[in-house]
Amino acid sequence: MNTLLKITLAVIAATFATQVAAKITFYENERFTGKSITAEERIDKFSRHDFNDRASSAQVLGDRWEICEDAKFKGRCVVLRPGRYPSLASMGLNNRVSSARAVSNNARIENHRYAPAPVAAQITFYEHDYFQGRNFATEDQVGNFRRYGFNDRASSVVVVGDRWEVCQDADFNGRCVVLRPGRYPSLAAMGLNDRVSSARVLESNARIDDDQYAPAPASAKATFYERQGFGGKSFTTTQQIVNLKRHGFNDRASSVEIAGDRWEVCEDARFGGRCAVLRPGRYPSLAAMGLNNSVSSVRIVDWNARVDDGRYAPAPVAGRDYRRRQNERLYEANVTSVRAVVGTPEQRCWVEREQVAQEQGKINIPVAIAGAIIGGILGHQVGGGRGKDIATAGGAVAGAVVGSQIGRGSSAPQERDVQRCENVPSQAKPDYWDVTYNFRGQEHSVQMTSAPGPTVTVNSEGEPRS
């Protein structure tokens, strides 16, 4: 073999050696946890490997793979592109995979055969709680946030695809916590509000001690109450409802608690009519947004959806962190109106002793009618013209009165107990105050747990601060 040929073969061998082999790893649980099985060659029957109908998530490397619900590639099949699939449920194959094989790199696949795109490991940090303000997203590890102008500025975060480690110091030093995929509306719960300086994705098979994990991400949830101040019957949902009538709670909500994410509430079914977007927190009265006893449909607002300020309801009483952020400049905004809101009126009832006239007998209707006719005839004989008409009417009334007395009996008055009730204002202190203030020419509304002074403290965006 000549020298040139040897060099050519060596280059080809080196090229193939450095290519990523087609490989797929299945996991017993979602998000790449539990027992796993890795294949680099086709598997006709998962039952031979004790993994039939057990896969709930998968990672694909190097090339596309076809996975099928029956052995020998029968039944429903989908093609997976390289990437991470934290749940096979989205493609209808959770705990249903029985065979798998690599797809040739030059094979043409129709679009409908592909599974939903794989989820990239990504983390997005937001400047304010509840995913508000400026944001910074990355799919790669960041050793120092200062390079991106986001050091010690993150207050909330969204994690997609895999777990991430976030640390308070650069180069993954200082206090670190691990975040599972999900939404974290406030980093204050883990002691890292405005303190994150580095972040990196963790390998799917990395073992993490329980004490390294942050509190579980908040699930989106809305709880509606029948009365103001979170009283009466309640109804909780974690998913959109197009018509509350089907759940027996249509036009009944007077207060609400929102957790985990923003929700849109509307006065008509299927999100029609007037709608308002609620941030996470407690709303002791829906009257402040004109929706008391008027909510008919609700849905979660996607975490990355942009919402105009005019669509938001007044800020919740509790659940938001109004503390001053690090180096945040504060201003005083003039209060333009204040309305103290107390609980619903109380009903006060008592019993009185009173005299009532005993019924003296029923009116003899035929006699009364006859009296009216006779009286009308007599009255008609009096006067003339307009006066004759008036006299006719007067005679009819008089005749009816006289006729009605015929056949009545009589008895003495009696005493009886009578219950009387009246609504009186609640004597309790106000539940909250509806406050409107003006900042830089724009009106803002907020519900506060104490009466404000002539001004409220706000940041540069007009958000309340304490």
**Token pair in block for residue 293:** 């006893």
Give the chain's mean pLDDT.
Answer: 78
Q: Which of 4-8, 131-135, 239-243 has the lowest mean pLDDT?
A: 4-8
C-alpha torsion angle, residues 392, 395, 397, 398 (rounded to 10)? 170
pLDDT tier at 322, thresholds 50, 70, 90? low
What token pair was written down for 261? 């994410």
111, pLDDT greater than 50:
yes
CB of 379 closer than 8 Å to CB of 389 = no
Q: What average pLDDT does the segment 118-128 reach?
A: 85
Q: Tokens in use for 283?
A: 């709303």
**pLDDT above 70: percentage of residues in the chain:** 73
pLDDT at 166 over 70: yes
Per-range mean pLDDT, top range of 12-21, 215-224, 407-416, 422-431: 215-224
pLDDT tens sequence across 373-420: 444 444 444 444 444 444 444 444 444 444 444 444 445 566 666 666
- For 180-208, the pLDDT digits (tens) are 888 888 888 788 999 999 999 988 778 88
pLDDT at position 129: 80
Domains of the chain: 22-113 (2.60.20.10), 122-212 (2.60.20.10), 221-311 (2.60.20.10)
Percent over 90 (pLDDT), the chain? 35
Identify the burial level of 254 via C-beta atoms within 10 angstroms of its C-beta, where 0-12 means exposed, 13-18 middle and 19 or more buried. buried
The amino acid that residue 372 corresponds to is A
Q: Quick one: tokens of 43?
A: 């598997």
> Is the pLDDT reported for residue 260 higher than 80?
no
Under 8 Å between Cβ of 253 and 226: yes
Give the burial string for 128-151 (b: 16+ CB within 10 Å, else e).
Answer: bbbbbbebbebeeebbebeeeebb
pLDDT above 80 (res 145): yes
Q: Is the pTM of this model over 0.85?
A: no
Percentage helix, strand, coil, to 5, in the chain?
A: 20, 40, 40
Render pLDDT for 7-38 as a digit per residue (tens, 0 to 9): 444 444 444 333 446 899 999 988 677 889 99
List, for residues 435-452, the tens digit of each pLDDT value: 888 888 877 777 776 788
